[in-house]
Amino acid sequence: MGKAMSRARHVAIIMDGNGRWAKKRHLPRVVGHQRGVEAVRKLVRAAGAMGLEALTLYAFSTENWRRPEDEISALMGLLKRFILSDLEEFAADNVRLKIIGDYKALPADVVELIEGAIARTAANTGSTLAVALNYGAQDEIARAARAAAAKGEITPETIAAELDTADLPPLDLLIRTSGEIRLSNFLLWQAAYAEMWFTDVLWPDFTPAHLEEALAAFADRERRYGGR
């Protein structure tokens, strides 16, 4: 008798390769980021149809502040345009927007837009799009441990209950594009027993077909969670 196929409920993606995509084409890095946003749009539209309950995207890490100021400014501008142009579509498609990380440290106008978008989609009951902004997993774990300690005993369960993703399904599959094979301080706790899928495809070229390929590979794996 064959093993049962696994269906992923929660997928997270490290969207890597915008800069390299632009460099290969002798274009400014910001063009790579623009094309990366287009890839996000296509993927979010397709994710619900694929049966995903949650899609978590690594958009801006705590380490990204080290990038040149003009690139950070361009990224913030792209984020604002993305929210402004896509919010009504999220609402119509019953998608809930969630932010993980310390997004309140972002520029005030960005924070205002984010909080409006969160409120606008809070009652949606379809899939969840979680966007990691000013996010670092080590910082998240430290914050969760402090919150757990303030309430009483520190255990894996009490820490997990304080993580930014506590209201999402457990992470099933973590994808990274661009050929890099590392987690880069992303969802370290949540990835403890997640499956990994790495691809050489640069993020702007990543399509729903690639996500389907990753989900098919996931479905064919046997998850043991430390057992035999």
Nearest alpha-carbon partner for 135 in 87, 184, 72: 184
Of residues 18, 64, 205, 220, which has the active-site annotation? Answer: 64
Measure the CA–CA gap between 67 and 125, rounded to whole angstroms.
Answer: 36
DSSP secondary structure string, 101-129? Answer: S-GGGS-HHHHHHHHHHHHHHTT--S-EE
Residue pointed to by tokens 């996931």: 218
| 207 residue type, one letter | T
- 137: tokens are 């997993």
Rounded to the nearest 5°, which phi and psi values hold at 198? -115, 140
Of residues 16, 86, 164, 172, which has the active-site annotation? Answer: 16
- 52: tokens are 């995903």
Check if 200 is active-site: no
Check if 16 is active-site: yes
The residues carrying an active-site annotation are 16, 64
